Structure 1
Amino acid sequence: MQASIDISWPQLGLFASLLLIPLFINAHFKLGINKSTIISLLRMLVQLFLLGLYLEYIFALDSIALNITWVILMIAMGSYSVISKSDLSSRKLLMANALALSCALLPLLLVMSLLVIQPSPRYNAQYMIPLAGMLLGNSLSGNIVALQTLFDAFKQRQDEYEAAIALGASPYQASFPFLQQAMKKAQAPILASMATTGIVTLPGMMTGQILGGVTPMVAIKYQLLILIAIFVMLSVSLSITLLLSLRYSLANNGLIKIKLNS
């Protein structure tokens, strides 16, 4: 296997000029998003550059306290992103989502580090930080979809909910169909991705490892590990997020009291 090939900054800059193509397309169709696109691209550039410098520092230092602090920061920022992108306004929902992501992520990281990969040391930042990032990154979109679907159902199917309450159902029983719908919709993309992996798509982690010089079979093992972990984390985090959100959101009379952002 050939070792990883470095890419020079001038080469990367030249390739980045291809971004003029989507900008031209946006302008041609008058989408009005070129300003936000450019801002997003610049933020991505600065954030990734700073992240690269910081990761080199924490990889070299490899402090368990620093690694745990970084993971906690990732969870906090991820939870804030979920709630803000879900168009919800509630500190309780923010806490519920942070708890859900923590309960799903931390045990998985422990199992993967202590029993499966077994790096030395076990809290090795080279493994802990990227694994946490991949698990969180793939769970955030699912949590956003789930919360949006749940609270949209309460707005659009309020009559159905109130009818179930009038017939004697508890608030949880009346909202259970909404919860089911939210979980199914949030898990649909990962199920479709797993069903086509290896035939239609080559996952990013596997591709990155192969480009880095790892043998295909080793890359496949890691990809299977991360896909299983992503699906488990998504399922656990969705369950806890939705259940806690319902608990915090239902008032004494079974009425939703979460403020929806306009």
Structure 2
Amino acid sequence: MTAAMDISWSDLALIFTTLLIPLGVSRYYQLKIERELIISVCRMALQLILVGIYLEYLFQLNNLPINILWLLAMLLIGASSIVSKAHLPKSKLLLPVIVGLSVGLLPLLALICLFIVRPTPFYNAQYLIPLAGMLLGNSLSGNIVALQNVFNSFEQRRAEYEGAISLGAPVNYACQPFIREAIQKSLAPSLASMSTMGLVTLPGMMTGQILGGASPLVAIKYQLMIMLAIFVMLSISIALTLSLTIRCCIDKNGLILVVANKK
């Protein structure tokens, strides 16, 4: 196996020119996403370069308290992004989302680092931070979809919910159909991805390891591990986030205290 080939900055600039295509599509169909696309790409590039520089320092330092602080920062930023993209108030929902992500992430991360991969030391930043990033990153969209679906259901099927409450149903029972549907919709893309993986797609972690010179069989084992962990974390975080959200956003009489901010 050969080591990964480097990409020059001039070659990387070449791929940036392909953005003219989606910009042209946006212009032609009047999608009005040109400004957002340019800002998003610039932010992505700047953030990745800065994180790359910082991670090189973090890997060399390999300090447990600093690694923990970095994990906490990732959880906070991820939770904030979920609530913002779902157009919901952070004052009510930031804590439930943080708890959902934390309970989904930390036990799985401990299992992987202590019993499966077993890096030395167990908090080795080279493994801990990328694994946490993959688990969190793949949980963001699922949690956003789940929250949006629940609050859309409260708005579009309000009569159904209020009818159940007026008949004396407990809040959890009245919300159950909405929660069930939200979880199904948020897990569907991951289920579809897993069912076609290897035939339709070669996933990112496996591809990265192969490009880095790892054996395809070793890369497959890592990919199986991370995909199972992602799905488990997604299931835990969504279920717990929605459960805590219901408790925070609906009072004991069934009155909905929070609505989505439509933009």
Q: TM-score, normalised by structure 2?
A: 0.97
**Paired residue for 1:86?**
86
Q: Which residue of 2 aligns with 1:125?
A: 125
TM-superposed deviation, 1:90: 4.0
The answer on whether the counterparts of 2:80 and 2:90 sit within 8 Å (CA) in structure 1 is no
Q: Is the 8 A contact 1:105 1:233 kept in 2?
A: yes
Q: CA deviation at 1:22?
A: 2.0
- Structure 1 unaligned regions, length at least 5: none
**2:246 corresponds to 1:236:** no
CA 1:159–1:259 in structure 2 vs 1: closer, same or farther (change >3 Å)?
closer
Pairing 1:203–2:203 present: yes
Question: Aligned partners of 2:49, 2:25: CA distance in 1, in Å?
Answer: 27
Give the deviation of 1:168 after TM superposition. 2.1
Aligned residues of 2:86 and 2:260 also touching (Cα < 8 A): no
1:104 — aligned with what? 104
Residue equivalent to 2:189 = 189
> Which moved further from structure 2: 60-69 or 10-19?
10-19
1:46 aligns with 2:46: yes
Q: Give matches, 1:152-191, under 5 Å.
A: 152-191=152-191
2:143 is equivalent to residue 140 of structure 1:
no
Alpha-carbon distance between aligned partners in 1 of 2:52 and 2:256, rounded to the nearest angstrom: 43
Q: Distance in 2 between matches of 1:76 and 1:149?
A: 22
1:205 Cα deviation after fit: 0.5
Q: Match for residue 73 of structure 2?
A: 73
Deviation string, structure 1 residues 75-113 (Cα, Å, up to 9, x no partner): 000000111111111423110100110111011110000
Match of 1:250 in 2: 250
Mapped to 2, the partners of 1:164 and 1:30 lie a distance apart of 43
Is 1:28 matched with 2:25? Answer: no
CA deviation vs aligned residue, 1:101-139 (integer Å, no higher than 9, x gap): 011101111000000000011100000000000000111
| Structure 1 position 217 matched with structure 2 position 214 | no
Shift of 1:17: 1.8
Q: Counterparts of 1:260 and 1:213 in 2: how far apart (Å)?
A: 47
Q: Retained in 1: the 8 A contact 2:250–2:256?
A: yes
Q: In structure 2, how many angstroms separate the alpha carbons of the residues matched to 1:24 and 1:90?
A: 35
**Residue 165 of structure 1: how far off its partner (Å):** 1.6
Residue range with higher mean Cα deviation, 172-181 or 20-29: 20-29
SS in 1 for 2:3: coil
What TM-score, normalized to structure 1?
0.97
| Conservation of the 8 A alpha-carbon contact between 1:88 and 1:259 | yes
Partner of 2:63: 63
Deviation at 1:215, TM superposition (A): 0.5
Helix, strand or coil at the partner of 2:200: coil
Q: 2:17 matched to which residue of 1?
A: 17
Which residue is 1:2 aligned to?
Answer: 2
Partners of 2:260 and 2:4 in 1: how far apart?
Answer: 48
SS in 1 for 2:2: coil
The 2-side partners of 1:105 and 1:249 are apart by: 24
Give CA-to-partner distance per residue, 1:233-259, whole Å, 9 cap, x none.
000001110100011111121011014
**CA–CA distance in structure 2, aligned partners of residues 54 and 258 of structure 1:** 38
One-letter code aligned to 2:135: L
User: Retained in 1: the 8 A contact 2:139–2:230?
Assistant: yes
The amino acid that maps onto 1:160 is: E
Aligned residues: 262
Aligned to 1:150: 150
For structure 2, the 5+ residue unaligned runs are none
Query: Structure 1 residue runs of 4+, over 4 Å off?
Result: none
